[in-house]
Amino acid sequence: MTQLPPITFATRFRGFLPVVVDVETGGFNSQTDALLEIAAVLIEMRSDGTLTRGVTHRYHVTPFLGSNLEPASLAITGIDPHHPLRPAIPEEDALQRIFREVRAAVRAAECTRAVLVGHNAFFDLNFLNAAVARSQIKRNPFHPFSSFDTATLGGVAFGQTVLMRATLAAGLEWDTSSAHSAAYDAERTADLFCQVCNQFQGVFEASRRRLAAMGPLEIEPGSEPQSGEPPNP
C-alpha cells in the first residue's frame, strides 16, 4: 500500500492556504464604491486534518478620495463612514496590515499563496483586487482570480446558498443583529467553510488513496498550471 504524506494545508489545497475575507462597502461597484470594512479570518488545521476557525483581523477603512457611497448600502450595513468615533484607517494601511498576517500564515503553512474564501467570493475578491490596484500594492498574497465560494459549498452540502440559512442548516449559530459586520460575516463564513470541508473529509481521504494508487500522473496537454498556481506534483 502506498504511504500517504500527512495532511497539511499544502497537500489539502494544492499548495494554497484558504483565508476567509469579507468586505463591507458603499455599493456594488468595486471600481467606484468605497471599501468601508475588511476582515480576514485565518483557518487552522487540527492534527487529524480537520479545519477550525482561527484568529480574525478586522479594520474600518476610510473611503478613498472621490469614492461613491450608496445610501441603500449604508442603510443595510449601518455604517456611518464619517462618524467621528469610527476608528478608520486608510485603505492601503488596512490592506498592508492584513497582508502581513496572511503572508506569515502562508509561510508557516509551507504554502505558495493564499486563496480567498468568501460568501459570493467574486464580490469580495473584486473589491480586494480593486483596492490593491488603487493602492499600487505589489505584494498581494492572494491568488488574483481563484477562490472558494461558500455560497456554492453551502448549496452543495446543505441545499442553502444564503449565508444565514446555510449557517443554520449546518447546525451553527447565527445572530441577525451582528450580521453585516465584516468580522461577524467573515467568522460565520469561516465556520461554514470548515464545516463543509470537515464533512467531506472522508471523500478527500478516499480521493487521496485513489490517486496514490494510480502513481505519477502526466500533465495533460492544455492543462498547465494557471498563473499563480504551484505546478502539479
Tell me the CATH number at 154: 3.30.420.10
pLDDT value at residue 216:
78
pLDDT at 224: 47
The answer as to whether 161 is a domain residue is yes
Are residues 170 and 162 in contact, defined by beta-carbon separation less than 8 angstroms? no
Kind plus residue range of the DSSP H or E element containing 19: strand 16-25
Pair 125, 135: CB distance under 8 Å:
no
In a domain, 2, yes or no: no
Residues spanned by the domain of 25: 9-213
The residue-averaged pLDDT of 207-211 equals 89
Q: At residue 81, does pLDDT exceed 80? A: yes
- pLDDT value at residue 1: 54
pLDDT per position as a tens digit, 166-186: 999 999 999 999 999 999 999
14 falls within a domain: yes
Higher pLDDT, 44 or 2: 44
Residue 230 forms part of a structural domain? no
Examine residue 115 and state whether it is found in any structural domain, yes or no. yes
Task: Specify if 232 maps to a domain.
Answer: no
Residue 98 C-alpha cell reads as: 492584513
What is the model's pTM?
Answer: 0.91
Among candidate residues 57, 82, 119, 180, the one labeled active-site is: 180
The answer to the question of residue 113 being in a domain is yes
Q: State the Cα–Cα distance between residues 39 and 68, nearest whole angstrom.
A: 21
Taking only the tens place, the pLDDT of each residue in 96-155 is 999 999 999 999 999 999 999 999 999 999 999 999 999 999 999 999 999 999 999 999
When divided into structural domains, the chain yields a total of 1
Q: Is 82 a catalytic residue?
A: no
Element (H, E) at 22: strand 16-25
| Region of residue 220 (left: phi > 0; alpha: psi -120 to 50; beta: else) | beta
Asked, for residue 219, whether it belongs to a domain, the answer is: no
Place of cell 468580522: 183
Closest CA to 103 of 57, 47, 59, 52: 57
Q: How far apart are CA 159 and CA 138, in angstroms?
A: 39
Note the pLDDT tens digit of each residue in 21-73.
Answer: 999 999 999 999 999 999 999 999 999 999 999 999 999 999 999 999 999 99
